[in-house]
Chains A and B, each alone.
Chain A
Amino acid sequence: MDAVPARARAYVGGIALLALVALLCPRPPAEVRTSWWAVLLLAGLYAGSELVARSRFVGTCYPVLLAGAFLLPPPAAALVALPGALLAPVTRRPAGLRRIWRAAWLTLAVWAAARVHWRLGGRDAVAGADLPGALVPAGAAVLAFCLVLAVLDAGIRTLTGTSPRVALGRPGLLTRSLGPVAVHGLAGLMMAVLWLSPYGPVAALLVLLPMCVAWWAFAQYHRERAAHQATIRALVQAVDIKDGYTRGHSERVGRATMMIARELGMDDERVETLRFAGILHDVGKLGVPTRLLRKEGALTPEERRVIELHPEYGHEMVRGIRFLGEARAAVLHHHERLDGSGYPYGLVGDRIPESARVVAVADAFDAMTSTRSYRRARPVAAALAELQRCAGRQFDPRMVGALVRALARHGWHPSVTADSHPVPPPATPLPGRRRGESARDGSGRRAV
């Protein structure tokens, strides 16, 4: 974002000018004296909370802003947003422009909300603590607030030509922000009512406490979730360390599994579960001695039996993780075949869980299209042809068809998800290294 297009600069300038006009020009009606103490207190509160708030999810401190909009005349309410928006840290360049944009954006939105609230007589309802009555102007003000935020945000996004995540402003789509902002609006209304009551600002500030607790828990939730995902990744990495030549395999199988699941029209939650199934399908290899996994040359039947224990090991490991759901069955059964010749239980046809049938196809596909120490990678088309040849006998034709369709639509970009430290492909594939494979090596048997 170092090079901001000139029209975007002009747009920010225009919005800033507009915000200045909103702040200065329309004098408050003479009969209402602006309480400068309230402006100062609210502005300080907002600036303080903006500085404290680390995580940037929607509406860090909107209750304070909206309380200002419900309490004060429009220009004074807009002033509340100014110091916080200007002072709060900006992580990305150009910092100055971003600060100006954020300040103008918020100031205008608060001004609009306060204006709507004022016009609908909300101020009297708040002062009189007329509770069901005060909800209508407050609701309208929240709507105006969200609308202005969303419209201005859409403007800057179109002008800078950036995707929503990289845009100058925070994601402010109307539909996404309306729910949370409505809750914040209720809190702001409560603050305003208590502020004007005999109990004064002390009682109003108490309203913020539950909101703070909610934010804190929300931030903890995100932190913990990130840590959890890192742990899952660590499980996968542990497998990769043991079994060096399958680097990135787990992540790619997760991706292919997700593509198949989407193509089959599964809902988002199930797609996510199946992605975990793909990522973790080989986790049982942690239980297989490293010597066997790295062995070069043919495996004895005894060694093969030990390696074939890995689905059961994996299931034993993940069965305690409740959120994995049907992914656990996929870990156990991903080497079953439709004709019953697979392992560990030799299940036939529909007795194999659906999740396992998806993962089996994704696993075989990635095994064939990635380079292994004992053979070169096959082209995607050849791998798909091989999968289709074995469909019905080894793989579920429905899953194979879904993979073919998904790849036709989106293509296969394994580098996107592959490990960030790719292993250089072996210089010469040694012909003698096929580890006791049957002739149908490519059909996924090697994808242990």
Chain B
Amino acid sequence: MTTPPPRGRPPAIPRLARAAAALVAVVCLAHVLWSGLAHRPVALAFGALVALGELTRRADAEAREAAPLGAAGALAYALLGEVAGHAAPHGVAQTVAVVLAASLAGSVPYTARGSGPVLDHLARRVLTVAFAAVCFQPLAAQGTFRDWSGPAHALLLIALLALTTLCDAVLAAATAHARTGWPFGPLLREELRGMVGITSAVCATGVVMALAVGVAGLWALPVFCVPLLLAQLSYRRYAAVRATYRQTIASLARATEIAGYTPAGHAHRVAELSGAVGRDLGLSGAEQSVLEYAALMHDIGQLSLVDPVPAGATASLPVPEQRRIALLGGAVVRQTGVDPAVAVVVERQADPCRDQPPAARIVRVVNAYEEKARDAGPGGGLAALEELRLAPADDYAPDVVEALARVLSRGSLTGPAAG
């Protein structure tokens, strides 16, 4: 999977994952229908928990934090070996069947509202839970863990869940890679970094629930939901304020367009294209968001000019003038309370490329491309790329130009629209 698949054909990995999940689900459901449910109250309680967790799902949340309670409940059920001190293994098939049924039931209002597709989410949930259950349930039924008493058992569960989330991350990164064509390494790194946050809370809650139900019975479930719900609430508020912040930055960026300094939509297009180039070059999440903000505000220094630059085309100005505008922009950005790294990128967007931080190189190249390709009509993009390649070596970083070429040839973005 080193080359992205051509457009038009559905990518293979997501299809494979869905098919595997469907196969697992059908086999498990058939098995449970054939042999019946063991330990019904336990199954019912965990099913209710998972369904409840799914009900709190939100469409606007990122996939990782969409339904933490449901995920934690499902993992806890997969790792459940005993209830209130008595052995109660329920097998892989029942684990998957209960989780699947509960997730489906919990997703009904979500799909009824038309909030979005749930199929991929369900496939991922089924595969994750099946993996954890396959690792744990057969061995628990055989009594292999009897020697692993006390703290060792807790550590074993932690290790198991770490392995499970690792596989989950690889699967998610592979799916994203197949779908978007972005390089696999950074995607995996991004997934793993995301695990530090809410995913670790989900896993810890899963382990704690499994252990606590083993000690104290089913009453532990509602009590042990509380910290995770708190974490979920905090995350949602954080996500909401981040979204608001992004909107505000975008409107600050539009100020130059409304003031007539730059053409409409320029900042937005540069931000979008810079984001794609950054991903292609393997920038991490934090660097990506610095890049996005800097790209949105890269022209803000022009607000301090008394007379607008013709068509806002800074790339064709003499270099000292470009630097002066960049410094003015950095000064404005510093006042906005954004991460100081953003101001640095804005400030240094006109410096020679070997002195620039990576994000500033990207902004410089993409801005120049956007300005040159904007009015050139069809075929203008290629001419602009050629111009960037032939420019003096210090102006545009060659690796960034090549990444831009790859992004453009992939065609995942529409070309710059005129005006």
Partner of B215, one of A197, A235, A291: A197
Instruction: Determine, out of B113-121, B202-210, B359-367, B385-393, the stretch whose residues face the partner at the interface.
Output: B202-210
* Identity of the chain A residue whose Cβ is nearest the Cβ of B220 in the assembled complex: A131
With a 10 A CB-CB cut-off, give which of B153, B204, B217, B233 has the most chain A CB atoms. B204
Instruction: Let me know if B338 and A190 touch, CB within 8 A.
Output: no
Q: Is A100 an interface residue (CB 8 A)?
A: no
B238 cross-chain contacts in A, Cβ below 8 A: 217-218, 220-221, 224
Instruction: Let me know if A206 and B258 touch, CB within 8 A.
Output: no
Minimum C-beta distance from B223 to chain A (A): 6
User: Total A-B residue pairs with C-beta atoms closer than 8 Å?
Assistant: 194
Instruction: Let me know if A238 and B255 touch, CB within 8 A.
Output: yes
With a 10 A CB-CB cut-off, give which of A215, A321, A322 has the most chain B CB atoms. A321
Minimum C-beta distance from A305 to chain B (A): 15
Q: Is A209 an interface residue (CB 8 A)?
A: yes
Instruction: Determine, out of A23-31, A81-89, A282-290, A366-374, the stretch whose residues face the partner at the interface.
Output: A282-290
Q: Is A232 an interface residue (CB 8 A)?
A: yes
Minimum C-beta distance from B151 to chain A (A): 4
A321 cross-chain contacts in B, Cβ below 8 A: 244, 247-248, 251
Instruction: Let me know if A210 and B204 touch, CB within 8 A.
Output: yes
* Identity of the chain A residue whose Cβ is nearest the Cβ of B153 in the assembled complex: A199
Main secondary structure on A side of the interface with B = helix
With a 10 A CB-CB cut-off, give which of B237, B248, B250 has the most chain A CB atoms. B248
* Identity of the chain B residue whose Cβ is nearest the Cβ of A189 in the assembled complex: B223
Instruction: Let me know if A231 and B223 touch, CB within 8 A.
Output: no
A217 cross-chain contacts in B, Cβ below 8 A: 197-198, 231, 234-235, 237-238
B306 cross-chain contacts in A, Cβ below 8 A: 290-291
Instruction: Let me know if B201 and A186 touch, CB within 8 A.
Output: no
Instruction: Let me know if A229 and B337 touch, CB within 8 A.
Output: yes
Q: Is A10 an interface residue (CB 8 A)?
A: no
Question: Residue-by-residue, is A112-150 near B (CB-CB < 8 Å gives 1, otherwise 0)?
Answer: 000000000000000001111001000000000000000
Instruction: Let me know if A194 and B158 touch, CB within 8 A.
Output: no
* Identity of the chain A residue whose Cβ is nearest the Cβ of B65 in the assembled complex: A217
Instruction: Let me know if A286 and B258 touch, CB within 8 A.
Output: yes
Q: Is A447 an interface residue (CB 8 A)?
A: no
Question: Residue-by-residue, is A216-237 near B (CB-CB < 8 Å gives 1, otherwise 0)?
Answer: 1110110011111111111101
Q: Is A379 an interface residue (CB 8 A)?
A: no
Instruction: Determine, out of A70-78, A246-254, A311-319, the stretch whose residues face the partner at the interface.
Output: A311-319
Q: Is B303 an interface residue (CB 8 A)?
A: yes
Do A235 and B252 contact each other (CB < 8 Å), given the known contacts A286-B258, A286-B259? yes
Instruction: Let me know if B151 and A231 touch, CB within 8 A.
Output: no
Q: Is A207 an interface residue (CB 8 A)?
A: yes
Q: Is A181 an interface residue (CB 8 A)?
A: no
Instruction: Let me know if B150 and A199 touch, CB within 8 A.
Output: yes
Instruction: Let me know if B226 and A186 touch, CB within 8 A.
Output: yes
Q: Given the complex of chains A and B, what is the CA–CA distance between A200 and B149 in angstroms?
A: 10
Interface size class of B (residues with CB under 8 A): 35 or more
Instruction: Let me know if B223 and A131 touch, CB within 8 A.
Output: yes
Minimum C-beta distance from B138 to chain A (A): 22
Q: Is B180 an interface residue (CB 8 A)?
A: no
Q: Given the complex of chains A and B, what is the CA–CA distance between A129 and B208 in angstroms?
A: 14
Q: Given the complex of chains A and B, what is the CA–CA distance between A222 and B227 in angstroms?
A: 19
A215 cross-chain contacts in B, Cβ below 8 A: 234
Instruction: Let me know if B250 and A197 touch, CB within 8 A.
Output: no
Interface residues of B in 177-215 (CB under 8 A from A): 197-198, 200-201, 204-205, 207-208, 211-212, 215
Q: Given the complex of chains A and B, what is the CA–CA distance between A288 and B261 in angstroms?
A: 11
Instruction: Let me know if B248 and A187 touch, CB within 8 A.
Output: no
Q: Given the complex of chains A and B, what is the CA–CA distance between A323 and B245 in angstroms?
A: 10
Q: Given the complex of chains A and B, what is the CA–CA distance between A67 and B291 in angstroms?
A: 44
Partner of A200, one of B150, B207, B241, B254: B150
Instruction: Let me know if A234 and B158 touch, CB within 8 A.
Output: no
Partner of A213, one of B197, B212, B215: B197
* Identity of the chain A residue whose Cβ is nearest the Cβ of B158 in the assembled complex: A206
Q: Given the complex of chains A and B, what is the CA–CA distance between A288 and B205 in angstroms?
A: 55
Instruction: Let me know if B216 and A129 touch, CB within 8 A.
Output: yes
Q: Is A418 an interface residue (CB 8 A)?
A: no
A291 cross-chain contacts in B, Cβ below 8 A: 306
Q: Is B45 an interface residue (CB 8 A)?
A: no
* Identity of the chain B residue whose Cβ is nearest the Cβ of A313 in the assembled complex: B258
Do A228 and B244 contact each other (CB < 8 Å), given the known contacts A186-B223, A234-B332, A237-B335? yes
Instruction: Let me know if B154 and A199 touch, CB within 8 A.
Output: yes
B200 cross-chain contacts in A, Cβ below 8 A: 209, 213
* Identity of the chain B residue whose Cβ is nearest the Cβ of A129 in the assembled complex: B216
Instruction: Let me know if B303 and A286 touch, CB within 8 A.
Output: yes
Q: Given the complex of chains A and B, what is the CA–CA distance between A389 and B150 in angstroms?
A: 82
Question: Residue-by-residue, is B141-156 near A (CB-CB < 8 Å gives 1, otherwise 0)?
Answer: 0000000011101110
Q: Given the complex of chains A and B, what is the CA–CA distance between A444 and B215 in angstroms?
A: 73
B204 cross-chain contacts in A, Cβ below 8 A: 206-207, 209-210
**A-B residue pairs in contact (CB < 8 Å), sample of 26:** A187-B227, A190-B220, A197-B215, A200-B150, A200-B151, A202-B155, A203-B154, A206-B154, A206-B158, A206-B207, A210-B230, A210-B231, A211-B227, A213-B198, A216-B197, A224-B242, A225-B241, A228-B337, A230-B335, A231-B337, A232-B248, A234-B335, A238-B332, A286-B259, A287-B255, A318-B251
Query: What 9 new A-B contacts, CB under 8 Å, besides A198-B153, A237-B335, A320-B250?
Result: A131-B217, A203-B211, A206-B158, A207-B208, A213-B231, A227-B338, A235-B255, A287-B255, A322-B247
